[in-house]
Amino acid sequence: MQASFTVNGTPRQIDVPEDMPLLWILREELGLTGTKYGCGVAQCGACTVHLNGEAVRSCQVRASDLEGAEVTTIEGIGTPENPHPVQAAWIETQVAQCGYCQSGQIMQAIALLQEFPVPTDQEINDAMSGNLCRCASYPRIRTAIHLATSRMGGR
Amino acid sequence: MGKLRTLTRRTFLIGSAAIAGGVAFGAYMVMRPIRNPLLDGLAEGEAAITSYIKITPEGITLITPRADMGQGAYSIQALLIAEELDIDPATATITPGAPGPAYYNAAVLAEGTPFPAYDTSTLAETVRDFMSVPAKLFEVQLTGGSSTVPDSYTKLRTAGAVARETLKEAAARRHGLQRADLNTEDGHVILPDGARIPYTELAGDAAKLEPVTDLELRPAGRWKRLGHPQKRLDMVAKCTGTETYGIDLKVDGMVHATVRANPGIGGGIERLDSAAAEATEGVMMVLPITSAVAVIARNTWSAFQGANALDITWGPAPFPADSARMFEVLEEALGNEDAFDHCQRDVGDVDAALQDGTGLTATYRVPYLAHAPMEPMNALVTVTETYCDIWTGTQIPLFIRNRAAEMTGLPADRIHVHVQKMGGSFGHRLEMTHVEQALEIAIALRGTPVKLVWSREEDMTHDYPRPAAVARGRGRVQDGKVESFDLAVAQSRMTSGWFTRLAGMGIPGPDATITTGSWDQPYAIPNYRVTGYRAPDMVPVSSWRSVGASSNGFFHDCLLDELIHEAGADPLAERIRLCLDDTSRKVLEAVGELAQWTGPHVGYRHGRGVGFCMSFGVPCAQIVEVTETPDGIRLDRVFVAVDVGQVLDPVNLEAQVTGGVLFGLGHAMNCELTYADHAPEQSNFDSYTGLRLYQVPEIKVKALSNGPRIRGIGEPAVPPAAPALANAIFAATGQRIRELPLNRHVDFV
Ligand code: FES
Ligand code: FES
């Protein structure tokens, strides 16, 4: 099937099977490999992107859901030269170990801070516990979220 | 001091074999210098003064041969070179280099010697050093065993210093000066008049000189980078989605593949119906290969869909069908004379001592565990008539090169292994089944690049897991003290099967991993014995982060905790009293101070447990604090003390320690591979999770530097976590849990 949608503000047209997940469309059709495959079944969060402003697991979004949608990936929120404040907090806190889960962690954290600019630990737990980190960088993820909060005008 | 100097000298000689042109050490093969691979393909004006540094007019390249799986090896190796070379590592190009014998790992075999790590006697040290000889002969270029830092510490700093001094010599000759009057800073040689000559301008001259090797390494007190908080060189890329892992690679004309193999590893294929798979949209072909079926498609997702559509009847695996029978096999081996493997610790008269005093007997068990790194196994392979390229994240590039040469019939120098950044490993990438599969497909499709990606399900069910193991502990206490300790452990062999997969030959003799982490603990218990029993091979198994200590740390420290309780002694004070190693004792004392230890009971349903294990030469003590809530056990706080001899980057050390602790806790809480019908019952993160953020306790880490040798920190924080948690649960609830995962007996909130 064909679909037209935007990714990081750029209009894209695709022609793929209708049940092909957004994850693989991004990675292999559009060449945006910052979004990662970890489980394919909504259990790890490595594939998290924003769909119309909400954090979603891109492994669960089908091509048939994409017509007219606005998708934002890790590549669309900041660059090495000009990182998003949440990315900057991640870098300053030295969060990543293998780093494979971190695109998803960061996309989830940005969505959290959009909803709760000054999240409580409970709100962080609720929002972030779907994102696995097998290297267990969790303490620094929490620290970086608090740091980003203060940077972004929160507490 | 005399001894230390000899050792340093010897390490230096080995480390600079390629530089100095030969080492006087043992047999001819060992004396023969290893060719510096960077000398091939150098142009005029370029220098490769050592195998680790290449300087061209365009810039400086550092070769960091140990693989980065997330543990920070990439940065730390660059930092070791940069410290002596006097450059900012962020300005250099850093690559793992092509695999080659110049990059053999001398430290990895040293831990397999029959001496506990705290034994620094001349004999123990000599044997450890001697292990670098087989490492060199067998071209053991692998990353593992927390060996990167111990192996690289002197080698890479020496490489940096040799290059620096040779560049200074080049500048001295050019300007008619003495080398001793010159300085270096930030990639420049500084002349006495303050003039600055970039290294890149001196490369051509330096290449014509004999490398300068009469030099001394800078003492830690003069370090500018090492020992101070560092920013990891890969951090920005990893936080902006711009790091490229093996799974992200793309080359022109590439096809995508996945495989479906028998989850009963070693069982064959009885029947295959591939019609539905072949009819799946995007699937190009179905190709049966050795013990698996490959699906080749236009993209990975179509390959996965095709694999799901395969209709296969698997043959039975050559091991018991289910977990119940597997544990029976382990228990049959336990204490069975015919299954005796080794006894490296037998102090006092244990049998006689077990007759006196108050005693206890307890049995313990731990499950098979998957490695489950976040990035599933993958490999991109091209095979043509004349060459073979392999791009993959691996800890064993030379074994892969050799296997590819066998499989393709190409000479080894036509095989190029490009080691990729890895999304975790935990030991999974010490195996190469996925690379062999990709090679087989690429040989069939000669000329077409093949990118093989395992689905998460394939990855988890075709892992060579951490072996399950059982143990029986017995002991006696008297007058408030632990007087005798007898531990027997049974497990299938691990090392031999692994080496057979890698090199086609087993390792004869006892398998030390059966008791690593229990026989070698630094305690002076008057009657003290640890015996390993070898159960028959069952599920093929492999190294899992912290290897033997991942099980033995649990067995040893839980038994010790039970005996201390039986004696009525304090869990921390009695461990300290029994400890015979200074470095370890200080670690135990430090964790007590950090936690402000007052005993195991801190309040109503609120308890603390101590865990200690010395692994890879690193003593690590942990105190875990938990509360029993109406909904289950809550992890409150963890205190950790550790001694790596010398801290190179305190920021990364803290990350590795907290990561290791949480990795250990998470698996202890809720991870196991159970088997039914010859196959693992867990295949994805729904049923095999580890820790999630809401369960993460507060963690405080204290790093000490009293140890006599520098050590790696990727693994040693893992083993004490499980026993500390089990012991804490006992303190809070009175319930002794002797089996992992703990959620078989308690819930966690
Ligand atoms: S890949 Fe989508 S949640 Fe794991
Ligand atoms: S950093 Fe490795 S999985 Fe999160």
Contact A133 B374 (CB under 8 A): yes
Burial readout B377-402 (b: 16 or more C-beta within 10 A, e: otherwise): bbbbbbbeeeebbbbbbbbbbbbbbb
The number of the ligand 1 atom at minimal distance from the alpha carbon of A45 is 3
Average pLDDT over residues A18-27: 97
Number of domains in chain A: 2
CA distances for A70 relative to A12, A50, A54, A76, A102, angstroms: 10, 8, 10, 11, 22
- A98:B72 CB<8 A: no
A104 lines ligand 1 (CB under 6 A): no
- Interface probe with A: pick from B245, B250, B301, most Cβ of A within 10 Å: B301
Q: Is the peptide bond before B741 cis (omega within 30 degrees of 0)?
A: yes
Answer yes or no: are the C-beta atoms of B579 and B523 closer than 8 Å: yes
Q: Which amino acid is at B575?
A: R
Express as a percent the part of chain B with pLDDT over 70: 87
Q: Comparing B72 with A13, which gets the higher pLDDT?
A: A13
Contacts of B689 in chain A (CB under 8 A): 43, 132
For residues B363 and B472, is the Cβ–Cβ distance under 8 A?
Answer: yes
DSSP one-letter string for B130-175: HTHHHHHHTT-----TT-HHHHHHHHHHHHHHHHHHHHHHHHHHHH
Residue ending a domain, choose from A77, A109, A130: A77
Q: B246-317+377-453 and B323-369+464-744: same fold?
A: yes
CB B637 within 8 A of CB B695: no
Q: Which of B69, B685, B699 sits opposite A44 (nearest CB)?
A: B685
Closest chain B residue by Cα to residue A49: B241
Residues B153-164: pLDDT tens digits? 888 898 899 889
Question: What is the DSSP code (8-state) at residue A137?
Answer: -
**φ, ψ (nearest 5 deg) of residue B138:** -90, 10
pLDDT band at B51 (very low <50, low <70, confident <90, very high): confident
Q: What pLDDT is stored for residue B49 in this prediction?
A: 66
Unique residue bearing structure tokens 């019952």: B681
pLDDT band of residue B350 (cuts 50, 70, 90) is very high
From the CA of A95, give the closest atom in ligand 2: 1
Mutate to test the pocket of ligand 2, among A44, A74, A94, A101 (most ligand atoms within 8 A of CB): A101
Dihedral Cα B21, B26, B27, B31, nearest 10 deg: 0
Domain identity same for A89 and A147: yes
CB contact under 8 A, A98 and B373: yes
Helices (H), chain A: 22-24, 85-93, 102-115, 121-128, 138-151
Q: Do the Cβ atoms of B318 and B266 come closer than 8 Å?
A: yes
Mutate to test the interface with B, among A79, A97, A129, A137 (most CBs of B within 10 A): A97
End-to-end CA distance of chain B: 52
Token pair in block for residue A72? 């934002």
CB B86 within 8 A of CB B186: yes
A40 Cβ closer than 6 Å to some ligand 1 atom: yes
Mean pLDDT of B712-725: 96
Is B33-105+141-231 in CATH node 3.40.1000.10?
no
> What is the count of residue pairs from A and B with beta carbons less than 8 Å apart?
185
Radius of gyration of chain B (CA): 27
Instruction: Tell which of B302, B374, B667 to mutate to test the A interface (max A CBs under 10 Å).
Output: B374
Per-residue pLDDT tens over the stretch B434-450: 999 999 999 999 999 99
Amino acid at B673: L
| CATH class name, domain B246-317+377-453 | alpha beta
What pLDDT score was predicted for residue B18? 24
**pLDDT at res. B15:** 24
pLDDT tens for each residue of B608-632 = 999 999 999 999 999 999 999 999 9
B129 pLDDT higher than 60: no
The complex's ipTM works out to 0.98
Average pLDDT over residues B307-336: 97
Q: What is the arithmetic mean of pLDDT over A3-27?
A: 97
Structure tokens at B380: 């991109």
β-partners of residue B269 are B314
CATH of residue A147: 1.10.150.120
Chain A interface disruption, residue of B68, B232, B239, most A CBs within 10 A: B239
CA distance B744 to B746: 6
* A72 and A91 belong to one structural domain: no
Q: Characterize the bridge pairing of strands B255-261 and B450-453.
A: parallel
Range of the domain at A49: 2-77
What pLDDT score was predicted for residue B475? 96
B703 membership: H or E segment, kind and range: strand B698-704
Q: Is the pLDDT of residue B14 over 60?
A: no
| CB contact at 8 A, A105 and A63 | no
Whether residue B252 lies within 8 A of chain A, CB to CB, comes out as no
For B142, B144, B151, B424, the CA distances from B135, given in Å and listed in that order, are 10, 13, 11, 25
Predicted confidence (pLDDT) per residue in B629-638, tens digit:
999 999 999 9
Closest C-alpha to B86, from B63, B64, B60, B67: B60
> Does the structure show a pLDDT above 80 at B4?
no
Shortest Cα distance from B245 to chain A (angstroms)? 8
How many CB atoms within 10 Å of residue B582? 15
Q: pLDDT tens for residues A34-86? A: 999 999 999 999 999 999 999 999 999 999 999 999 999 999 999 999 999 99
Q: Considering only the beta carbons, identify the residue of A33, A40, A98 that sits closest to B422.
A: A98
Domain of A63, CATH number, reads 3.10.20.30
pLDDT tier for residue B208 given thresholds of 50, 70 and 90: confident
Cβ partners under 8 Å of residue B240, min gap 6: A34, A74, A75, A78, A79, A80, A83, A87
Q: Are B464 and B450 in contact (CB under 8 A)?
A: no
What is the overall mean pLDDT for chain B?
Answer: 89
The verdict on A146 and A95 lying in the same domain is yes
Q: Name the residue of A37, A93, A98 to mutate for ligand 2: max ligand atoms within 8 A of Cβ.
A: A98
pLDDT > 70? residue B122: no
DSSP code at position A35: S
Percent helix, strand, coil in chain A, to 5, is 40, 15, 45
State which of B374, B428, B652 you would mutate to test the pocket of ligand 2, scoring each by most atoms of that ligand within 8 A of its C-beta. Answer: B374
Residue ending a domain, among A21, A49, A77, is A77
> Of A5, A37, A47, A18, whose CA–CA distance to B282 is shortest?
A18
Whole-angstrom Cα distance, residue B497 to residue B114?
Answer: 21
Q: Are B542 and B574 in contact (CB under 8 A)?
A: no
Per-residue pLDDT of B522-562, as tens digits, reads 999 999 999 999 999 999 999 999 999 999 999 999 999 99
Q: Do residues A64 and A118 both lie within one domain?
A: no
Comparison of pLDDT for B258 and B143, the residue scoring more? B258
Confidence grade of residue B128 (pLDDT, cut at 50, 70, 90): low
- Is A11 found in the same domain as A68? yes
Decide: residue B746, CB within 10 A, 0-12 exposed, 13-18 middle, 19+ buried.
Answer: middle
Provide the mean pLDDT of chain A. Answer: 96
Beta carbons of B297 and B451 less than 8 angstroms apart: no
d(CA B257, CA B277): 13
Tokens describing residue B235: 């951090």
Distance in angstroms (rounded) separating the CA atoms of residues B295 and B274: 9
* The two three-digit tokens of residue B422, written as one number: 């890895």
pLDDT surpassing 50 at residue B432? yes
Q: How far apart are CA B665 and CA B671, in angstroms?
A: 10
Query: How far apart, in whole angstroms, are the C-alpha atoms of residue B229 and residue B212?
Result: 31
CATH 3.40.50.2300, domain B323-369+464-744, yes or no: no
Q: Find the mean pLDDT for residues B372-382.
A: 98
Mutate to test the pocket of ligand 1, among A24, A49, A59 (most ligand atoms within 8 A of CB): A59
Q: Is the pLDDT of residue B270 over 60?
A: yes
Shortest distance between the Cα of B380 and any Cα of chain A, in A, equals 15
Q: Are B363 and B738 in contact (CB under 8 A)?
A: yes
If phi > 0 it is left, if psi is from -120 to 50 it is alpha, else beta; for residue B690 that is: left
Q: Does B376 touch chain A (CB under 8 A)?
A: yes
Instruction: Map B245-269 to HEC letters.
Output: EHHHCCCCCCEEEEEEECCCCCCCE
Q: Which residues of B touch A132 (CB under 8 A)?
A: 374, 685, 689-690, 692
**Tens digit of pLDDT for each residue in A105-131?**
999 999 999 999 999 999 999 999 999
User: Is B125 or B16 the better-scoring residue by pLDDT?
Assistant: B125
What is the token pair recorded at B619?
Answer: 């003593």
Q: Do A133 and B373 count as a contact with CB atoms less than 8 A apart? A: no
- Is residue A52 domain-shared with residue A97, that is, in the same domain? no
**Rounded-to-integer distance, Cα B641 and Cα B639, Å:** 7
- Output the residue whose Cα is nearest ligand 2's atom 4: A133
Domain boundaries, chain B: 33-105+141-231, 246-317+377-453, 323-369+464-744
**Does B655 sit within 8 Å of A142, measured CB to CB?**
no
Look up residue A26 and give its DSSP letter. I
pLDDT at B12: 24
How far apart, in whole angstroms, are the C-alpha atoms of residue B280 and residue A12? 25
For ligand 1, whether the C-beta of A57 sits within 6 Å is yes
Other CB atoms closer than 10 Å to residue A10's CB: what's the count? 10
- In the structure encoding, which two tokens stand for residue B433, read together? 């089944």
Which ligand is closest to the CA of A103, given by its number? 2
Among chain A residues, the shortest Cα distance to B243 is held by A34
- Asked if A51 and A106 sit in the same domain, the reply is no
Question: Exposed/middle/buried for B706, CB within 10 Å: 0-12, 13-18, 19+?
Answer: middle
Q: Do A92 and A25 lie in a common domain?
A: no
Last residue of a domain, one of A77, A104, A128: A77
A-chain CB neighbours of B425 within 8 Å are 98
- Cβ of A100 within 8 Å of Cβ of B373? The answer is yes
> How far apart are the C-alpha atoms of A76 and A81, rounded to whole Å?
13
The answer on pLDDT for B106 being more than 80 is no
Q: From chain B, pick out residues whose CB is under 8 angstroms from the CB of A20.
A: 301
Q: Which bound ligand lies closest to the C-alpha atom of B374?
A: 2
B452 and B441 Cβ atoms separated by less than 8 Å: yes
Write the pLDDT tens digit of every residue in B63-76.
887 878 888 888 89
Write down how long chain A is: 155
Return residues 165-224 of B near A (CB < 8 Å): none
Distance (Å) from CA B526 to ligand 1 centroid: 53
> What number of residues does chain B have?
749
Same domain for A68 and A89? no
Ligand having the closest approach to the CA of B684: 1
Q: Tell if the CB–CB gap between A78 and B375 is shorter than 8 Å.
A: no
Residues A6, A63 within the same domain = yes
Q: Please tell me the least confidently modeled range out of A139-148, B102-111, B345-354, B625-634.
A: B102-111
CB B689 within 8 A of CB B593: no
Report the DSSP beta bridge partners of residue B680: B675
Going from the Cα of A46 to the center of ligand 2, the distance in angstroms, rounded, reads 9
User: What is the structure's pLDDT at B151?
Assistant: 79
Q: How confident is the model at residue B40 (pLDDT cuts 50, 70, 90)?
A: low
